[in-house]
Structure 1
Amino acid sequence: MRQDDRYVALVLAADRTANDPVASKTGVACKAFAPVGGKPMIIRVLDALAASSTIKTTLLCGPPKALLPQCPELMQRIENGQVIWTENQDSPSRSAEHSLKQVDATARILLTTADHALLTSKIIDHFLLASRAMDCDATVGIVRHDMMLAAFPSSQRTVIRLRDGGFCGCNLFTFNHGGRELVSFWQRAEAQRKRPWRLISLALGWKTVIRYLIGSLTLTQALDAISAQTGIRVRSVFLPFPHAGIDVDKVDDLLLVESLLEKSALDSKNAQADTANE
């Protein structure tokens, strides 16, 4: 990817609520600092972004400034300019809007979260190269539920069930040019989060809701409905990595991620031993 085609990464890193269960379990000031495989989650995400050939700059929205000294490695990266820190707001959508104002309007944006502990540069590059090739304003990363179920049969994930299958989100989004306007729609949706039917109607419109209820709605039709409601062309990017659909929302997620990293480390160690013995 050419220099001018690379993306600005925006990482949302503030807790959604007080007393986050993962932060409480691990004894840290906020979830982003929770150690996974001996390393804070946020550092894992930042390492993946730094290793990606498709990222040129990284902005970090949150955690609150008063908490930053509790993660010295993160403080060091902010102080030496590897990461640009911005203050979080009172909701994810407001935090995104606040941070996007600091980015050139022509820049392409990758939006992700600090709890994406299994994120890798391979996932990022695959998603962004595919997104860059699409003629649309915004993209969303998606993993097929059957793929996740095969890889992690005991893991409980949020699934969107449509006529053409079940799908899981990956906390990976792009905004290309006018796609940033989708954040305003996100804010309106957040305001209706305690009124599910108003939220669904806002996102899809009632005709599309009815198609969903009777089981005839496809993923493409759902995204077309969102595009019609917002005026922003949204498309999906299917990712061939089941672990791209895992974020650390719950303590069970943390335990799963820890076990996967331990297995990966053991497999790598065994492979090195086999090579040395040849």
Structure 2
Amino acid sequence: MNAPAALILAGSRGGIDPVAADEGVSHKALIAVGGQPMLARVAEALRGAGIARIAVSADDPGVVALAGELGLAVLPPAAGPSRSVTVALGELGTPLIVTTADHALLEPRWVIDFLADVPPGADVAVLLAERAVVEAAMPGTRRTWLRFADGAWSGCNLFYLATPQAARAIDLWRTVEADRKRPWRIVRRFGVGTLLRYIAGRLTLAEGVARLGRTADVAAAAVPARAGLAAVDVDKAGDLADVRAIIASRG
């Protein structure tokens, strides 16, 4: 297998992000955490995991300039994360790891473990953390949970596109983006029987992700995160305060 490349999503959704505005920077990726811009921290973690080819999807001038200083390739963002990944697949190919510029706590070990835990034969995999694991690492955290028969789960902003067939999942990803806060609407796409299993609390996470993959004709897998902090990113000011406190506690 070829060595994986990595894509860091750092596009803009229109207007200035409120967290970035509070910090006096043009983009969230430029916010300093532990003495480094978040983008630099993410790139450092990926390199620490042995990934040499790293690109950032960005158009903010400050982010583009920083990417150049960090030795990262810059790809133009498209309208939304899923379309930006399509652009990256065309440039970087597979296997491809995808993460976000606000994943400020990202550690090399999380990436290494994720890749090691992807089941053989998977075309695409997503890292998710079970609620008990997240809350053990960060008591009192509040987030949107995906509730399945085997627990409540949170996304970790780490995806693995293992084979060229993973491109088939991008269109499906686009629809999932729109409903990511309403998992029952995602499950409804699989038919009445699956929706009823979900409502009754009988659909496991693995079953849900596998069925989602089959609708796109790909082998999809959910990988449980070993570290609860893998589910923490910076979406709002409270997240930023938490992340800074965690990094400060590490010295």
TM-score by length of 1: 0.83
User: Which residue of the partner structure matches residue 268 of structure 1?
Assistant: none
2:73 matches 1:76: no
1:129 and 1:224 map into 2 onto residues whose CA distance is: 19
Q: Give the drift of 1:67.
A: 3.4
Q: Percent identity?
A: 32
**1:111-162 Cα shifts (integer Å, max 9, x gaps):** 111110000111111111222x522111111111111112212211221111
User: Which residue of the partner structure matches residue 55 of structure 2?
Assistant: 59
2:100 and 2:235 map into 1 onto residues whose CA distance is: 11
Higher Rg of the two aligned structures: 1
1:165 and 1:122 map into 2 onto residues whose CA distance is: 24
Give unpaired runs (5+ residues) of structure 1. 266-278
Q: Which amino acid aligns with 1:113?
A: T
Q: Which amino acid aligns with 1:124?
A: V
Is the Cα–Cα contact under 8 Å of residues 45 and 108 in structure 2 kept in the other structure?
A: yes
User: Which residue of the partner structure matches residue 85 of structure 1?
Assistant: 74
User: Which residue of the partner structure matches residue 109 of structure 2?
Assistant: 122
Q: Tell which deviates more after alignment, 17-26 or 166-175.
A: 17-26
1:215 and 1:197 map into 2 onto residues whose CA distance is: 11
Q: Which amino acid aligns with 2:69?
A: Q
2:16 matches 1:27: no
Q: Give the drift of 1:74.
A: 3.0
1:51 and 1:173 map into 2 onto residues whose CA distance is: 17
Is the Cα–Cα contact under 8 Å of residues 16 and 26 in structure 2 kept in the other structure?
A: no
- Tell me the secondary structure at the aligned position of residue 99 of structure 1: helix
Which of these residues, 99, 104, 116, is aligned with residue 112 of structure 1? Answer: 99
| 1:156 to 1:222, Cα distance in 2 relative to 1, 3 A | same
1:154 and 1:185 map into 2 onto residues whose CA distance is: 33
2:172 matches 1:185: yes
Q: Give the drift of 1:22.
A: 1.4
Which of these residues, 118, 124, 135, is aligned with residue 121 of structure 2? Answer: 135
Residue correspondences, number: 250
1:31 and 1:210 map into 2 onto residues whose CA distance is: 40
Q: Tell which deviates more after alignment, 226-235 or 191-200.
A: 191-200
Q: CA RMSD in A?
A: 2.2
Q: Give the drift of 1:199.
A: 4.6
**1:21-71 Cα shifts (integer Å, max 9, x gaps):** 211221110111111122111110001111112x23111111x153346xx
Alignment of 1:4-19 (within 5 A): 4-19=1-16
Q: Give the drift of 1:192.
A: 6.9
2:138 and 2:131 map into 1 onto residues whose CA distance is: 10
Q: Give the drift of 1:91.
A: 1.0
User: Which residue of the partner structure matches residue 150 of structure 2?
Assistant: 164
2:155 and 2:237 map into 1 onto residues whose CA distance is: 19
| 1:151 to 1:196, Cα distance in 2 relative to 1, 3 A | closer
